[in-house]
Structure 1
Amino acid sequence: MREPRKERFPALLVVGVLLLAFGLMWNARGSFSLLYLAFQREYGWSPGLSTLGYAFSWLAVIFLTPIAAAWVDKAGPRRAVVMGLGCTALLYGALALVREVWHYVLAFGVLQAMAQALVATGSTAYLARRFPRRRGSAIGGMAVGYSLGPVLILPVLGWTMGALGLRSALVLMVLPPFLLLPLVALLDPPPAPQARQAGAPVGALREAVGTLAFWSLAVLYVSGVVAYNIVLVHQAAAAEGLGSTASWIVMALTGSFAHSALGSLAGGSLSDRIGRVPVWLGGSLLSALAVGLLALVPPGAGGGPLAAYAVLLGLGTGARLALLGTLAADLYAGPAFGRIYGVLQAIGAIGGAVGPLVAGFLRETSGSYQVPFLVAGLAYLISGLAVLPLRRGLK
């Protein structure tokens, strides 16, 4: 009779370590608003040049994620997270050494894309195997890392940049991912993946792309990423257009990230109890209501609508972030999970590249942020409804 696995580390510690890994990786993208201004001041670059690295990173995600995620299947999720943290440390070190625009574009574009693919796919695969019965709770706990950067790391980066300068601050940012490497390496190896996940429609990428479930997930991902990036890039400017003060906007957006952490924890845990579909639909509806509220509130309405927007969006986004990897893991947590999830992330990244550009164009042609945010609300609803064809294969 096979003996049960003996784990050296408790579940809370495992999720906490991967939460930190995820937060440090995502902070490279989440801190871009600070880096955007710092590059202009340090090097005299124009706003357009300063955004090239961010834009190129989304293109790199589209092409590099399937390659990096396939490596997760071969080397294992734990090694992938270690490699992703190494890419994160190298990214900050490389940014500290840039002298020309093309240095920055290659460093941010390639290294950030590789870090994102390896850490996101590796962490999700690890937790999906380690906690098959509490997958939503575990991945939801890790998803708190999305909020960790803006709430905790971003203020520290801003302070060190002001006190020590851009280059010294970036050098210091090398240390956190580097110091976390041994903790990830010491985690217990995850259980081996099943040859074919019980109840899953397919067991390999070639089979997956021929199914309705795969393309439903693809629509769910790309429409959700379009909405998320429209909001992420333009929400501060939209709130300012309503007459909100800068300090109130900062407080509201910080509160939104804090509620996102709460939404990730609650959404992941609830999905293990009542199912993925109602939680995903609920999170999508809250997100759509939030952006619709911001779009339809007239200028001068005061801070109340912005506060309501921040709470609704935070809870809705958090619940959705907790389930992004969980939905794919429920269907494809077998030996080909990395390849399948990598292609889905690459498809979703198209929305990251297109969403802010479309919103900017609509803002210029309509003269307000009402139309872009209504488009974002519609995209959230489409993303929510796209889960319905998957309900038979999900928990």
Structure 2
Amino acid sequence: MVKTSSRLYYGWVVVGIVFLTLLVSAAINSVPSVLMLPLEQEFGWDRSAVSGAVSIRILLYGLMGPFAAAFMAKYGVRKVMVISMLLLIISLSLTPFMTSIWQMTLLWGVMVGIGTGSLANVLGVTVAGRWFVTHKGLVIGLLTASAATGQLLFLPLLAKLTEDISWRTAVYTVVGVLLVLTPVVGIWMRNHPYDVGAAALGTTETAKPVPFTGNLFFTPIQTLLAASGSGTFWLLAGTFFFCGFSTNGLIGTHLIPACGDYGIPIVTAAGLLSLMGLFDLVGTTLSGWLSDRFDSRWLLFWYYGLRGLSLIFLPYALGTGYTQLTVFAVFYGLDWIATVPPTAKLASDAFGKEKAGMIFGWVVVAHQAGASVAAYEAGLLRDWLGSYTVPFVVSGFFCLLASLMALRIRRARATAIQAAL
């Protein structure tokens, strides 16, 4: 048992480890956007074929969430993290040897999807819920923002390595980072405040964790069936579908190749995504702070509305120049995943702390379903129409719809909803 420090609450050490882990997971998720053009040139794979593999990864990334939450409750957060990271090391190490699109689909669609899906937003929500009562929204925002930080740190480096050396070197660089981080997780990560003789921050009771009961595979499905009777769940899932449709599935996957259509170098385009990551680190952390203080429904209204306007502006920015693209990157970046803290808070308030991980996991499934559709749909429309204008603008209008849907979410009647679960 690790002794607690009178100066530093160990939960902040756990947050730091999870932040680093999610940061590297985000870097892995951003790799396909850097590889899309080199793979197209080396193997002759068209945009829609590569997008299909990416869309499978995105879908599994979300679908793993509720089941990962169940496995964390049963076996502990640390064990799930280590196993997931080992799976990623294996799949990424095999990537440079692939020669066929089915291998891309297996390695990056299935294996990377399962690995990163277990190191996703559900991990951050689970850790925040166990270790923090006060500052929970801030912690969720900080851990969510780690995705932006990973993009900020790794994308320009990976793009530079791809351009100057090879895409295989870029992949092996990520493998090296994973090899360093995995022992850190194995040694210093802890599953619960009880493991270090502490209480959740904001409480004084050192409570033993509630043992997981039920079937690892059926309990998440039973939780989904119970939650599906709530209109709150469907509005959260619906708005998050449009969130995924307008972020990692669209911009995260296709902004770099879209810039390539206008002759913008890959390193410059990666720099734009990196800039978005910088501002999203600020925007999402601030969003977590705001969700502790203001009505999350109105926060979502503004986030989705402003994102929609920025996406409608994007085709104009692409055809105009770097100044307009920089304006887009800053404006969009502030809003990239700022929707996660208020959505997670609404889910936790409505369905309770014990079920929040699995419920939010299913909401993330909707997010990744939207992202998966957008990843494939945008690549397909680009092949058909010769540009990304239609998918960008359509996604913008869907965001405006999501902003109106957010206002339809009722204030949580927590007791009634939790009793149904």
Q: Tell me if structure 1 keeps the 8 A contact 2:235–2:408.
A: yes
Aligned to 2:32: 32
Q: What SS is found at the alignment partner of 1:31?
A: helix
Deviation of 1:115 after TM superposition, in Å, equals 2.3
CA RMSD across the alignment: 3.6
Query: How many residue pairs end up in the alignment?
Result: 383
- The amino acid of 2:136's aligned partner reads R
**1:374 and 2:388 aligned:** no
Aligned to 2:145: 144
Which moves more between the two structures, 147-156 or 218-227?
Answer: 147-156
Residues 193-342 of structure 1 mapped to structure 2, 5 A cutoff? 204-228=223-247, 229-236=249-256, 238=258, 249-296=269-316, 299-300=319-320, 302-342=321-361
Deviations 1:348-385 (CA, angstroms, capped at 9, x unpaired): 22212211333345556666544322211112222333
Aligned to 1:359: 378
Q: Tell me if structure 1 keeps the 8 A contact 2:137–2:291.
A: yes
- The amino acid of 2:281's aligned partner reads A
Please give the alpha-carbon distance, in whole angstroms, between the structure 2 residues aligned to 1:208 and 1:138. Answer: 25
Aligned to 2:419: none
Which moves more between the two structures, 210-219 or 328-337?
Answer: 328-337
Q: 1:97 to 1:68 in 2, by over 3 A?
A: farther
Unaligned residue ranges in structure 1 (runs of 5+)? 196-202
Q: Tell me if structure 2 keeps the 8 A contact 1:30–1:150.
A: yes
Aligned to 1:46: 45
Task: Report sequence identity in percent.
Answer: 23
Aligned to 1:198: none
Please give the alpha-carbon distance, in whole angstroms, between the structure 2 residues aligned to 1:25 and 1:108. Answer: 13
Aligned to 1:200: none
Q: Tell me if structure 2 keeps the 8 A contact 1:57–1:113.
A: yes
Aligned to 1:83: 83
Which moves more between the two structures, 214-223 or 272-281?
Answer: 272-281
Which moves more between the two structures, 163-172 or 223-232?
Answer: 163-172
**TM-score normalised by length of structure 1:** 0.81
- The amino acid of 2:107's aligned partner reads A
Residues 7-22 of structure 1 mapped to structure 2, 5 A cutoff? 9-22=9-22
Please give the alpha-carbon distance, in whole angstroms, between the structure 2 residues aligned to 1:341 and 1:5. Answer: 32
Please give the alpha-carbon distance, in whole angstroms, between the structure 2 residues aligned to 1:128 and 1:294. Answer: 37
- The amino acid of 1:293's aligned partner reads F
Please give the alpha-carbon distance, in whole angstroms, between the structure 1 residues aligned to 2:12 and 2:65. Answer: 28
Q: 1:260 to 1:194 in 2, by over 3 A?
A: farther
Q: 1:180 to 1:34 in 2, by over 3 A?
A: farther
Q: What SS is found at the alignment partner of 1:292?
A: helix
Residues 345-356 of structure 1 mapped to structure 2, 5 A cutoff? 345-356=364-375
Deviation of 1:95 after TM superposition, in Å, equals 2.6
Q: 1:78 to 1:134 in 2, by over 3 A?
A: farther
- The structure 2 residue matched to 1:181, chosen from 185, 188, 192, is 185
Deviation of 1:206 after TM superposition, in Å, equals 3.0
Deviations 1:207-252 (CA, angstroms, capped at 9, x unpaired): 2111101111110111111122223333345556678777764543
Q: What SS is found at the alignment partner of 1:319?
A: coil
Deviation of 1:263 after TM superposition, in Å, equals 0.5
Q: What SS is found at the alignment partner of 1:335?
A: helix
Unaligned residue ranges in structure 2 (runs of 5+)? 195-199, 201-208, 213-221, 415-421
